[in-house]
Structure 1
Amino acid sequence: MKFLLPIFAALLLSLTTVNARAAEHGTAEEAIALINKTAAYLIDEGPERTFFEVSNPRGRFTYRDLYVVIYDLQGRIMAHGMTPRLVGLNAMEYRDDDDKQFVREMIERAAKGQTGPVDYKWVHPQTQRLHAKSAYFRQVGLYVITAGIYK
């Protein structure tokens, strides 16, 4: 019986870890709130300061597994809350595993006043596994602010 205790404890710990990871996923409402918070900051503080703040992975524009990405209207990444080294790259032609041009769709829909979601598949930054993702977005001036939830 003593030998079963460590096995039971390990099993309990693994189940707790799985439940904790599930609880870490941001919700659509939280993603939209993060976009709106970023939009207000962009309006109040301007693009340069906003891009700097958004590109800080430990900053005010990340929450659990939610992070903000800001594109210009041509698809260039102006700020990236999870991977700042992507700033400056043009993502207009980025495609997911199903060959969907999700950045193009977000920018085109934002130009029509839409706010999302756009569904696609992307690698989760914490698990490094491919997940379904829904991205919400909003155009503010010359920029499209996005945040997505992993499913």
Structure 2
Amino acid sequence: MRKLLALAALAFVAAASVRAEEFATTKDAELMVHQAIAYMKKEGKEKALAAFSDPNGRFRYKDLYVMAYDLDGRCLAHGARKDRVGKLFMDEKDVDGKTFVRERIEVARKHGKGWQEYKFANPTTNRVEQKVVYFELWDGVVVVCGAYKK
């Protein structure tokens, strides 16, 4: 019986470890923003924004994707939902009523970068989940990437 319980516990730990590896961390998200800005500086905005919106490109990692907004709240790139590109989201609210794009842009204008939490539909699970994003402002573009909390 003890061996059976020990094997069951080991199987649970192994399964949890595999699931954890499927999802990115907030540190991964911050690194992705740094890489995205470096790419934009090197390749230019137009090429970078196209790369950020490529769902199979270099700016996708596990469940991470890059987004970019101008200072008016217009989505310039979105790695998971191309239907958002070109639209204004300054007054978009999450399920708790938080105007997360407006808040993000205000912080970016004031501090140049920051962290933010809000709720958003996870394209991997198709459920609304808590998301933690890191963002930085560079040359009028707010580059964003975030991890969903597990």
Q: Normalised by the size of structure 2, how large is the TM-score?
A: 0.86
Q: Which residue of 2 aligns with 1:49?
A: 47
Q: CA deviation at 1:114?
A: 4.5
Q: Deviations over 1:96-124 (max 9, x none)?
A: 01000111111110111242211111111
Q: CA deviation at 1:36?
A: 0.5
Q: CA deviation at 1:127?
A: 0.7
The number of equivalent residue pairs is 140
* Structure 2: tracts of 5 or more residues without a match: 1-10
Aligned-residue identity in percent: 40
CA distance in 2 between partners of 1:39 and 1:90 (Å): 22
Letter in 1 for 2:48: T
CA distance in 2 between partners of 1:23 and 1:133 (Å): 17
Q: Which residue of 2 aligns with 1:35?
A: 33
Q: Which residue of 2 aligns with 1:68?
A: 66
Q: CA deviation at 1:70?
A: 0.3
Q: CA deviation at 1:21?
A: 3.5
Letter in 1 for 2:18: A
Q: Which residue of 1 aligns with 2:116?
A: 118
1:148 pairs with 2:146: yes
1:89 to 87, 90, 95: 87
RMSD: 1.9
**Stretch of structure 1 that moved more, 82-91 or 21-30:** 21-30
Q: Secondary structure at the match of 2:46?
A: helix
CA distance in 2 between partners of 1:20 and 1:85 (Å): 32
Q: Normalised by the size of structure 1, how large is the TM-score?
A: 0.85
